[in-house]
Amino acid sequence: MPHTPDLLRERVATTALRLGPDAPTLCDPWTVRDLLAHLVVRESRVDALPGVGLPVPALQRHTEKVQDRAARRPFEELVDTVRGGPAPWWPTRLPVLDRAVNVAELCIHLEDMARAQPGWEPTALPEGTAEQLWATLRTTGRMLYRSASCGVVAVAPGHGRVALRRPPEGSGTVVLTGAPLELLLHAFGRERVARVGTEGEDRDVQALAAHRRSA
């Protein structure tokens, strides 16, 4: 049986073909074509990786140029490249790394396409995906909420509870409750479409809503 990232790549490819290259995504102004180009570049161009994660204008400009060139490829070719996975020599060809690095990335970008459309519903995910998303949230969430002006606790029924940010002095804690995918979408700045319940003092809930995180 194909492992989870490969199943998710197939979902991404199928969704992209169904929506078409010019459909909007939550990563505005990216279209579906742009989002696929991003996925291709991040698994094939070492020189473009620094501009993906580091807020350095020169690095970001280079990454944008590389991605723009990739986006000009025929759409079906982009789809097939995403479906086929990383370059043969790329580290995430190792299944254990692929799962750790790409399950969350693929799930988030799958929802970036699906939830940007009218009347969207969450995408059905392969069995076992939620466990990996919960593991990713427990580590990455601490980084994403590290500058929040309140405490943050995530609760995923059936998976557990984790403190992602200690409350700074004089502030309280907001408890976020939802499925691992929904919590991860919230952590990565997609709170507008994340089906997450919030509990806490009004001032803390408002402060967390105003907290800017990674897009």
User: Hey, where are the domains in the chain?
Assistant: 4-114, 129-210
Distance CA 40, CA 109 (A): 12
Distance CA 67, CA 55 (A): 16
Provide the token pair at 99: 């799962």
Residues 178/197, Cβ–Cβ less than 8 Å: yes
pLDDT at site 79: 97
pLDDT at site 2: 55
Which residues lie across from 174 on neighbouring strands?
152
Q: What's domain 129-210's architecture?
A: 2-Layer Sandwich (3.30)
Supply the pTM of this predicted model: 0.91
Chain segment 88-136, per-residue pLDDT in tens: 888 888 888 889 989 999 999 999 999 999 999 888 888 889 999 999 9
